[in-house]
Amino acid sequence: MPRNPRYDILFEPVRIGPKLAKNRFFQVPHASGMTNAAPHVRAAFRETKAEGGWGVVCTGACSIDPSSDDSPFPFATLWDEADVRAHAVMTEGVHRHGALAGVELWHGGAAALNRTTRFAPLSPSGVPWMATHVGFMSAARPKPMDRDDIKALVGWHRDAAVRAERAGFDILYVYAGMGYLPHQFLLPDYNQRTDEYGGSVRNRVRLVEELIDTVREASGGRCAVALRISLQELRARKSDTAPSEAHEVIACLKDAPDLFDVKMDYSAQDCSASRFTPEASHEPVIEFVKTITDKPVVGVGRFTSPDTMVGQIKRGILDFIGGARPSIADPFLPAKIDEGREADIRECIGCNICISSWHDGVWVRCTQNPTAGEEWRRGWHPEKVRRDSEGRVLVVGGGPAGLESALTLARRGFEVSVADRQRQFGGRLVWETSLPGLKTWFRVAEYRLGQLRQMPNVTLYPESDLGVQDVLDFGAEHVVVATGARWLDTLCQANELPGGKAAGPRIYTPEDLKAGFVPEGPVAVFDFDNYYLGTAVAEDLSAKGCAVTYITTAGAASAWSFMTNEQPLIHQALMRRGITLRTLEIVTAFDGETLLLAQIFSGERHELAVRSLVIVGQRAGGSALYDALHAADLKAAGITSVRLAGDAHAPGAIAHAVYHGHKTARELGLPASAIHVGRDAPFAPRDFMALQAAQ
């Protein structure tokens, strides 16, 4: 299909200093969890985006010196020649598709605690970076940088820039954002220096200016130099001469870099979840930058709508549409717009499972795109699936796992039927996405249903509750059972192992709420699942008029959502709604009037007067249908395989169900010998040693 002319503006080439980007789609630097230990995994992940049409594709933060060591978080390095080779694999891949490759030169300063290299963290003036004692605890406190340290920092940037050019990068980033060292110099609470690098805005900007000049010089002006800068706190700071300190800073730097990459300050706001933050949420902080500088500006905002993107360009907010999460969820987003296939975009749902991967220290994974991070290891492409099969498959269950299985099986060439007992496909998403803030997550079902409905080899059967005989009579050669998991009404012990079954009136689980039941208030929600559902249920019941007390075994509400950047916003939401929060407690009994609670460490008992109890605790997978099929005469029915997929296989997050559904479909009918799992390896350190010896 031809491209909609409304979107032509997104495909205009834009100059960035000495380089020309072929369009306005810019994959900004973002964490991938892929260090130099997995150069081919990383290269394939980034190359796929270049293949999908992104005009610029960047690395994540790349440490320029061992004094910037982010462990235990995964981080890339650009310290030596072995690192140059590791990055060159990525730049070659990106260049193959006519995209520019960018590298983010990173020094974390006081925010990098150097746990492995054991250097003292560096800082402008010895003030600890707040994340170091709030989130990522350490007893280490940073060293105030003296003039030699500043000189060394400039030198590390120079050396890293030289290596980066040798590795094939086109755009070299100076990174003054997200609380890392050059950003710390910009903020007066952290930078308490009294020399020419502290005090006035002019002085605080000096280091960033020097770094930009150094990086430009190091590449002899052949590479473009980008400045990534966080503007949130600066924007909130009053200025005597401008609307804010952010305006002053940008005015000082307006001619320095070839490109501005502008953003918020901290991960939870910069990369905030859709549960609380809409698309284009950065605009109120960064919208002024283009009024001050003539250099091109890139910014993010979880952009998935081409109309919003066009609006950002036409209204003069941005020159480039920055994408991190949208490029993970759909590496082919630009190509789809270019080909007039907007309806095929697999839109990011803003769940931040991708961020949790980085916090977990592993390669990026994505709820919407199960192939993310598996491009090289398993050879999975996000759009192309080898057509290698025919025959009939029956998928029982149309939740995330069933729909993803069905789509991938249909792409492989199977004749696919999907049956679900509900009228609406989407499984758990149907109810869960009706809870406050979670509507965007329904895109997981929407995208897959949109694709399946276009495919001639797919039939959807809603309102079809299948028993074992129905499946045997269906005439399919393969059966995928993706019937989901169910919430249990068991309590838990202080050590969070399963407790006894709750006994008493008005005790409910999410299964009851899903069926439309609204409990009598006041309600206690007891959460030991500790991801999003407990607090989403509490919010929902509160919105429906119940007085709600939320009780958790953990130290904070929705404890695991710390990993997805949602937790601070969840706490704010509970407070906004007047929901009482009780932590580190278990429910021991409920008689319909009084809830008995015990503190998990001391055993101290409390009583709470409530009318209903909702338990958001354990889920059980498994499937009676699957078990019955195994006991049946499959051969007589012509069935050669029965597979259990998604939550029925092992209950987890939606991301787990989609991934498992995809994997099940990729592997169905193949012998084990045909399933490829590559094992990446770093470039051997001996290469580096040999090089040093030769110098």
Active site residues: 180
- Judged by DSSP in three states, 567 sits in helix
Neighbours of 627 (CB within 10 A): 13
List the single partner that 466 binds among ligand SF4, ligand ADP, none, CB under 5 to 8 Å by kind.
ligand ADP
Dmax over CA atoms of the chain, in Å, equals 85
> Residue 319 and residue 290: Cα distance in Å, rounded?
9
At its nearest, how many Å lie between ligand SF4 and the CB of residue 448? Answer: 13
User: Any contact of residue 646 with ligand ADP (CB under 6 A)?
Assistant: yes
Q: Which residues contact residue 670 at a Cβ distance below 8 angstroms, ignoring those fewer than 6 apart? A: none
User: Any contact of residue 428 with ligand ADP (CB under 6 A)?
Assistant: yes
Residue pair 117/66 in contact (Cβ under 8 Å)? The answer is: yes
- Answer for which of 410, 466, 502, 665 binds ligand ADP (CB under 6 A) is 466
Nearer to ligand SF4, 249 or 329 (CB): 329
At its nearest, how many Å lie between ligand ADP and the CB of residue 347? Answer: 19
User: Any contact of residue 510 with ligand ADP (CB under 6 A)?
Assistant: no
CA torsion through residues 295, 301, 304, 306, sign? negative
- Judged by DSSP in three states, 63 sits in strand
List the single partner that 524 binds among ligand ADP, ligand SF4, none, CB under 5 to 8 Å by kind.
none
User: Any contact of residue 399 with ligand ADP (CB under 6 A)?
Assistant: yes
> Residue 538 is which amino acid?
A
Total chain residues near ligand ADP (CB under 6 A): 24
User: Any contact of residue 400 with ligand ADP (CB under 6 A)?
Assistant: yes
Residue pair 628/468 in contact (Cβ under 8 Å)? The answer is: yes
User: Any contact of residue 370 with ligand ADP (CB under 6 A)?
Assistant: no
Which stretch of DSSP H or E encloses residue 395? strand 392-396
User: Any contact of residue 398 with ligand ADP (CB under 6 A)?
Assistant: yes
User: Any contact of residue 55 with ligand ADP (CB under 6 A)?
Assistant: no
At its nearest, how many Å lie between ligand ADP and the CB of residue 243? Answer: 48
Nearer to ligand SF4, 372 or 393 (CB): 372
Nearer to ligand ADP, 272 or 483 (CB): 483
At its nearest, how many Å lie between ligand SF4 and the CB of residue 655? Answer: 6
Nearer to ligand ADP, 401 or 492 (CB): 401
Residue pair 89/101 in contact (Cβ under 8 Å)? The answer is: no
Residue pair 103/164 in contact (Cβ under 8 Å)? The answer is: yes
> Residue 107 and residue 114: Cα distance in Å, rounded?
11
Interface positions, 529-558, toward ligand ADP (CB under 6 A): none
Closest CA to 233 of 170, 175, 289, 188: 188
Interface positions, 173-192, toward ligand ADP (CB under 6 A): none
Residue pair 622/593 in contact (Cβ under 8 Å)? The answer is: no
Interface positions, 579-638, toward ligand ADP (CB under 6 A): 625
Q: How many residues does the chain have?
A: 695
Site map 446..465 versus ligand ADP, x via CB under 6 A:
------------------xx
User: Any contact of residue 401 with ligand ADP (CB under 6 A)?
Assistant: yes
User: Any contact of residue 513 with ligand ADP (CB under 6 A)?
Assistant: no
User: Any contact of residue 47 with ligand ADP (CB under 6 A)?
Assistant: no
> Residue 631 and residue 623: Cα distance in Å, rounded?
13
- Take residue 657 and report the two structure tokens written for it: 């169900």
**Residues at the site binding ligand SF4, with contacts judged by CB under 6 A:** 325, 328-329, 348-354, 366-368
- Take residue 74 and report the two structure tokens written for it: 């995964």
Interface positions, 647-666, toward ligand ADP (CB under 6 A): 647-648, 657
Neighbours of 447 (CB within 10 A): 22
Nearer to ligand SF4, 256 or 533 (CB): 533
CA torsion through residues 682, 686, 687, 693, sign? positive
- Of the ranges 129-137, 307-315, 399-407, 550-558, which one interacts with ligand ADP (CB under 6 A)? 399-407
User: Any contact of residue 406 with ligand ADP (CB under 6 A)?
Assistant: no
Residue pair 523/507 in contact (Cβ under 8 Å)? The answer is: no
List the single partner that 334 binds among ligand SF4, ligand ADP, none, CB under 5 to 8 Å by kind.
none
Nearer to ligand SF4, 215 or 333 (CB): 333
At its nearest, how many Å lie between ligand ADP and the CB of residue 482? Answer: 5
Burial class (CB in 10 A: 0-12, 13-18, 19+), 228: buried
Helix, strand, coil content of the chain in percent (nearest 5): 35, 20, 45
Residues that bind ligand ADP (CB under 6 A): 396-402, 419-422, 427-428, 464-466, 482-484, 625, 646-648, 657
